[in-house]
A and B are shown apart, each in its own frame.
Chain A
Amino acid sequence: MAASESYPDDLLYHPEHDWARIDGDEAVLGVTWYAQDALGELVHYEPPSVGATVSKDASYGEVESVKAVSDLISPLTGEVLEVNEKVVDAPETVNEDPYGDGWLIRIRMTSQDERDQLLALADYRKVLDDEA
């Protein structure tokens, strides 16, 4: 079952429809409800390797639906600590729970300043309004 539309207010957002949940110097990354809805049911997740470096605004992996491929854009720079293997095995988890079980990677941030460049919910909603 696909999740219904929601955008938690405790996350920081990237205009490419990615989110970050920051806890100290670590962050968990994923895609927003809007992104998974635009793609449709996900059938493949191509994650980065643990230990790889991800860079803010650059692609760190891909998700695919039957019809389309989408780059995953990292909202932050850091080192990959963990890949969500549940999503590798069952990519539709992202559709079912984009902010919970459908998280994609956990990273150690290498720049604390970058978080200030991300969008709070109110600003991300403006991005969504522009897409509509």
Chain B
Amino acid sequence: MAEDTFLTDDFLRQLINVGEVDILVGLPTHNNAKTIGSIVQTIQSGILRWFPRERAVIINADGGSRDGTPELVTGISIDDVPRGSNPYALRTLHSISTKYANSPAAPVAFRTILAAAELLQAKACVVMSPESCSVEGEWISKLLRPIRNDGFDLVTPTYRRHKFEGLLITNLLYPMTRALYGLRLRESYAQEFGFSGRLGGEFLTQNVWGDGSAGDGIELRFALAAITAQHRICQCFLGQKDHIEQRGSDLVPALRQTVGPFFSALEPDFPFWSPVSGSQPLPTFGPDHEVLLDLVRVNRKRLREMFTTGVAELATVFQSILSADTLAELQRVALLGENDFEYPAELWVKTVYEFAVSYHKSVISRDHIIQALAPLFRGRALTFIIQHRNGSAEDVENGIEALCLEFERLKPYLLQMWKSRE
């Protein structure tokens, strides 16, 4: 029975020409012509500056772009064909591209990059996001050096962010990863990260690729796989985190990409995380995080409205998901006035844990469970914003730390519920 091969002949031919490499930079793209030009220039100059003697390659996994993105990537190859202006380089630098599908699919892109890394025997790899406008050449070095020099297998980034950016991470993903998996990994869902060839090869053989639910959040599963296999993980401060377009309704897709896969992973990883208690810090190069404190205006009224509306309108749905006590508490919170609105940490933790359990049991459609979390998250976000509207960076960090400890403290509650309805 012939195995399905997802690497095209043309791509394999290009890989033959590249040969063994020391460093591989993976770049998944789809219609990124606006930003990709400067990003690949930055990557190229980063490689030339920080790793001039290493054999390097840039692999672009493209999901059917129609705006010339792949050509922009391959255009920065450096070789000996005489052309106008080639930056000086000791070695040939290959920059190759393959179209893995006619429409974007993050797991296939990542799998393509991993396959290339294995075939090229890459020692250290880094995946870059095609959308960041604040990428610096030094990021390549920061993400690769711990792997090449210190033997780490996974390097996750930390960023400088505004205190109210990334609340889903600070209020849910980070505390939950920390409480359940026992590692203080701030960015488990990263768009830029480094990993060793060894880790990549292992993940490639795992049975996550045919699984439909791996559609989103493959990066998250990768990080969790590294944790459960007890690879050496570290963090590295990169710089400013930015994103190009922002939409208020970003929340549900964000939940689908992160919380969904995270909950999915809890089931197979149960033997790993159930006995874990407390959490360990990770080796971190540079600061753990940095916080911008610019004054901002937030539409608190809208957040509160969406929370209270959600609690009211979705009561029937919540009855299937939450325990009676928790739901009653939520309904009480929903009645609080604007000035004393507070979604307490303990209640939030219980909410999240009960959602995780309901997801595990598939009490209703799993996608619906994820969607139902959105209005509740808004309420929590509002509380966080209110508590830290005048807070310093230290205050914010203390708040997050307190929340994390709450998650850790209530872990037995999760375990109890996880096992009970079985």
**Pairing of A with B:** no
